[in-house]
């Protein structure tokens, strides 16, 4: 998988090189920090670390650290953000009864629900140990973030209440489950590098918005891209019956011609031929165009938040990140 930083246009080459080095240090600390005394714990906790991932949250932390002076605490914070993300994946997969994660058997599928849940808890414990080294402000930020992650999961599990638009509900879930941690990732980088109060607040708001856009881009990619383009199997969300931006926009349609498609999208699609047929229909549907437009508008809103950020390499990199995110969905 291409490192996301290599896809950011207009990034300062010196900063790019330094961040790539810091990402290597982050990866090394991530892997060493989760090592425990018990062979099974070592195996299960490494499971998703070694399965890969974009490391988008650490990247955001490290970019925002250039608003001040990058240091080792920023790398520790980058690790806490990624470990928090990984821990939530173990728990999510249990709740979703997911058989796969990142192309490999999920922990719950391989070792059972109890071990998967406890592995997530173990990673949260390792997060707490790192946070203790970063001080009370970092601990408080993590506590607020974790609260939102849990609320987002509860909202997703509960589903939209009667009278609540399913798309509005979904966007609220995405804000809590994805936006909150990416927002915290940005704030950690600014906070621990000694950035100004103004810059901390700007990147916190930016992180929330670009975090939501990051998830919605994945929604579009699941429908619009081939596996060669994205490295993922298109239609995964259709097979699992997971609502996404694109499918929820279809469900809002009042066009009688969409009746059959809406009926299919109302539940998981297990037949592979039907998945492929549905993908073809969605790729030619107005809902995909509308989803792309919504995503582009969101990325532009995130970019607009940066206008008052201190001019320099962080601002350029974050502006480039908005462009790169949108380009993934074209």
Domain holding 136: CATH number?
1.10.600.10
Reported as a pLDDT band with limits 50, 70 and 90, residue 49 is confident
Give the C-alpha distances (Å, rounded to integers) separating 316 from 10, 33, 160, 235, 285. Answer: 7, 32, 38, 34, 35
pLDDT given for residue 33 in this prediction: 93
192: β partners = none
pLDDT given for residue 326 in this prediction: 86
pLDDT tops 60 at residue 139: yes
- Report yes or no: 288 and 219 within 8 Å, Cβ to Cβ: no
User: For the residues 221-239, what does the mean pLDDT come to?
Assistant: 74
pLDDT given for residue 291 in this prediction: 97
CA 325 to mean position of chain CA atoms: 12
Regarding predicted confidence, which is higher, 42 or 133?
133
Mean pLDDT of the chain: 92
User: For the residues 231-251, what does the mean pLDDT come to?
Assistant: 87
Percent of the chain whose pLDDT exceeds 90: 73
CA distance 314 to 46: 32
Q: Provide the residue range defining the domain that includes 157.
A: 4-327
CA distance 270 to 68: 50
pLDDT given for residue 156 in this prediction: 92
Question: For the chain, what is the domain count?
Answer: 1
**What predicted TM-score, i.e. pTM, was given to this entire model?**
0.93
pLDDT tops 60 at residue 284: yes
Reported as a pLDDT band with limits 50, 70 and 90, residue 37 is confident
Reported as a pLDDT band with limits 50, 70 and 90, residue 53 is confident
pLDDT tops 60 at residue 227: no
User: What's phi and psi for 233, nearest 5 deg?
Assistant: -85, 115
pLDDT tops 60 at residue 236: yes
Those residues with Cβ within 8 angstroms of residue 128's Cβ, 6 or more apart along the chain or in another chain: none
- Report yes or no: 262 and 250 within 8 Å, Cβ to Cβ: yes
User: For the residues 74-96, what does the mean pLDDT come to?
Assistant: 91
pLDDT given for residue 232 in this prediction: 61
């Amino acid at each position: 998988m291409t490192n996301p930083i290599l896809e950011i246009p207009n990034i300062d080459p010196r900063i790019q090189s330094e961040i790539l080095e810091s990402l290597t240090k982050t990866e090394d600390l991530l892997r060493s920090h989760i090592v425990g005394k018990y062979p099974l714990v070592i195996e299960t906790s490494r499971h998703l670390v070694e399965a890969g991932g974009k490391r988008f949250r650490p990247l955001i932390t490290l970019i925002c650290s250039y608003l001040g002076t990058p240091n080792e605490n920023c790398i520790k914070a980058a690790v806490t953000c990624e470990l928090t993300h990984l821990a939530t994946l173990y728990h999510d997969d249990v709740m979703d009864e997911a058989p796969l994660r990142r192309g490999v058997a999920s922990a719950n599928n391989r070792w059972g629900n109890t071990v998967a849940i406890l592995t997530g808890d173990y990673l949260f414990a390792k997060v707490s140990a790192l946070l203790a080294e970063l001080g009370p402000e970092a601990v408080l930020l993590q506590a607020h973030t974790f609260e939102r992650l849990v609320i987002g999961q509860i909202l997703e599990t509960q589903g939209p209440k009667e009278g609540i638009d399913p798309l509005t509900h979904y966007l609220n879930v995405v804000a809590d489950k994805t936006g909150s941690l990416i927002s915290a990732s940005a704030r950690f980088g600014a906070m621990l590098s000694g950035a100004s109060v103004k810059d901390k607040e700007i990147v916190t708001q930016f992180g929330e918005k670009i975090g939501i856009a990051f998830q919605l881009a994945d929604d579009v990619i699941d429908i619009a891209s081939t596996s060669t383009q994205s490295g993922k199997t298109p239609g995964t969300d259709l097979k699992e019956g997971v609502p996404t931006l694109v499918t929820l926009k279809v469900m809002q349609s009042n066009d009688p011609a969409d009746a059959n498609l809406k009926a299919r999208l109302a539940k998981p699609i297990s037949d592979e031929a039907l998945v492929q047929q549905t993908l073809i229909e969605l790729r030619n549907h107005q809902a995909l165009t509308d989803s792309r437009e919504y995503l582009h508008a969101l990325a532009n809103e995130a970019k607009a938040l940066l206008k008052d950020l201190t001019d320099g390499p962080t601002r350029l990199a974050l502006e480039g990140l908005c462009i790169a995110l949108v380009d993934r969905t074209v």
